[in-house]
A and B are shown apart, each in its own frame.
Chain A
Amino acid sequence: MTDLLDTVLDVVSAALLLGGSTLTLLAAIGLFRMPDAYARIHVATKPATLGIACTLSGAALQLPLASDVTKVVLALALQLWTVPAASHLLARAGRLTGLPPAEPDAVDAFVEDTGADGPGD
């Protein structure tokens, strides 16, 4: 019974590790395939966040000590909080300093809400 449980945990953990690494690789490849900085922020942040979540969960399944598992879960929670906030700040900084989007005709909620000029004007 314990052997079976160990095998199942190993397989699930291996799948999570492989999935997380694949997502991170896809995020890095996506950096070169996106047309502008905003799309790059999007493509770098979302797979990276999910990738870190997958990899840390897979690592937590391998750890024997409860204290180590707690630290990994804490690191995972902090990543899930801070990574979207940081990428939002970057996109905001780019937008406020007039970094142009790849499609100038795209809907810009910032302009619609505030009546500000579009980027590059």
Chain B
Amino acid sequence: MITVVGAICLVMLSAAALIAAVFVVRARNLVDRAVGLDTAVAVLLNGMAVGVAVAGGGNAINLVLLIGLLAFLGTIAVARFIERRGAGATSEDRHTESRPSEEPS
């Protein structure tokens, strides 16, 4: 039973990963992009937890710990960078017209 449940979970998580990847590509500013990458890491951790549950153990448990902490460090680094440099395009939403000169490349 746990194998079938794991397969269903991984299908949902694949869809979530695809959505997060599209969001990261289409993000208007650095904060949105960092949020999208955070979501991608959350999807990855969920997938590894499902894998651990199906396999009943293994090395992936250590990786869940490690990736969670590394994602925290990365988000802190991006937040410090944004505080110093600004978030890129700031004065419009995705519904309004973009200004390519202010987009972070």
Contacts and interface: CB of A to CB of B under 8 A. Distances in A.
Contacts of B17: 28
A121 to B, nearest CB: 11
Interface string B1-16: 1100110111011011
A14 B90 contact: no
B23 A99 contact: no
Given A18-B5, A31-B23, A58-B49, A64 B57 contact: yes
Contact of A18 (B8, B54, B72): B8
Contacts of A111: none
Given A55-B49, A59-B50, A94-B82, A41 B35 contact: yes
B68 to A, nearest CB: 5
A97 B79 contact: no
Given A58-B49, A90-B34, A102-B93, A28 B87 contact: no
A67 B19 CA distance: 35
B31 A90 contact: yes
Contacts of B2: 10, 13-14, 62
Given A24-B16, A100-B91, A93 B50 contact: no
Given A25-B16, A55-B9, A100-B90, 5 more contacts: A18-B5, A31-B20, A58-B53, A86-B76, A99-B31
20 contacts: A17-B5, A17-B53, A21-B16, A25-B16, A27-B42, A31-B20, A31-B23, A31-B39, A41-B31, A44-B35, A55-B53, A59-B52, A62-B2, A68-B57, A78-B65, A82-B69, A87-B38, A90-B35, A93-B87, A98-B90
- Enumerate the 8 nearest inter-chain pairs by beta-carbon distance, A residue then B residue, closest first: A48-B42, A82-B72, A59-B53, A86-B75, A28-B16, A89-B79, A93-B82, A21-B9
